Amino acid sequence: MRYTVTSRGDETSNALQQRVKSYLNDFGLEYDEENPEIVISVGGDGTLLHAFHHYKDKLDDMCFVGVHTGHLGFYADWKPEEVEKLVIHIAKTPFQIVEYPLLEVVVRHYNQPQSDRYLAINECTVQTMEGSLVCDVDIKGENFETFRGDGLCISTPSGSTAYNKALGGAILHPSLASMQVAEMASINNRVYRTVGSPLVLPQHHTCLLRPLNDVDLQLTIDHTTLVDNKVKSIQCRVAEEKVRFARFRPFPFWKRVKESFIGD
């Protein structure tokens, strides 16, 4: 099997990366950064976000597994002291694959025929460089509300424990092919009104944001920030593609939520 190992870049993660590499080479696996079948990410959830974006055009042919060198992660859920066990699993046992939904974001501009398409494993956020974001929010082709406030966050189920959670969004199980729209400080008074609650949309429903003020937008796709102007619309929906994780042992999602946010 072809594999690669990515690292957060700190001393501990780099040392562990080298150990994993040397173990897997000893087992006769082929190191291949270009076309790996399994990507082992060493660091944290942030490291896995980077690995995902590096390989996002080859998702059908590969799966990911994450080792955390800091705190327990949602994507990086193997401990450093478990790597020997993990390596034996990778080398010797046929493993199970679990698939998580992704978010597709299509940005269209005025006076520009082609659109830009992005995939997010956590979320897309939309804010402005200055002042409030004012935008029409259409759901499934129907106008739903006019949003005025700091911004909006559209997250995947596996990203629901990240930025979305800090905004008061719900934690969604990654088996739900869905996306969640959460508000960032909406202005609500007698003039402006938004629903005020996070919305969970199923697959094939689109959420279209149409900016109404001519301002530079700040978009984030996971860890990446883009500044964009003349944006006509931002269309979000559950992507056709999925991200695949190698599963070698049961570690239920709700157990990860409990261990991450509540404690043992």
Task: Report the distance separating Cα 90 and Cα 69, nearest Å.
Answer: 19
- Residue 27 has phi, psi (to 5 degrees) of -80, 0
Q: Contact with ligand NAP (CB under 6 A): which of 6, 13, 127, 158?
A: 158
Known catalytic membership, residue 214: no
Q: How far apart are CA 34 and CA 176, in angstroms?
A: 31
Q: Which stretch binds ligand NAP (CB under 6 A): 160-168, 201-209, 232-240, 241-249?
A: 160-168
**Which of residues 149, 159, 169, 198 is near ligand NAP by CB under 6 A?**
159
* Closest approach of ligand NAP to the CB of residue 193, in Å: 25
**Please, which residue, 81 or 214, has the CB nearer to ligand NAP?**
81
Active-site choice (45, 61, 116, 136): 45
Nearer residue to ligand NAP within complex by CB, 150 or 222: 222
Stretch that binds ligand NAP, among 43-51, 141-149, 187-195, 248-256 (CB under 6 A): 43-51
Angle 226-138-182 from CA coordinates, rounded to 5°: 60
3-class SS of residue 105: strand
What is the C-alpha separation between 87 and 248, in angstroms, rounded? 10
Count of positions on this chain that bind ligand NAP (CB under 6 A): 18
Q: According to the binding rule CB under 6 A, does residue 77 interact with ligand NAP? A: no
Q: In the Cβ-directed half-sphere of 38, how many Cα atoms lie within 13 Å?
A: 25
Q: Are 122 and 154 in contact (CB under 8 A)?
A: no
Catalytic residues: 45
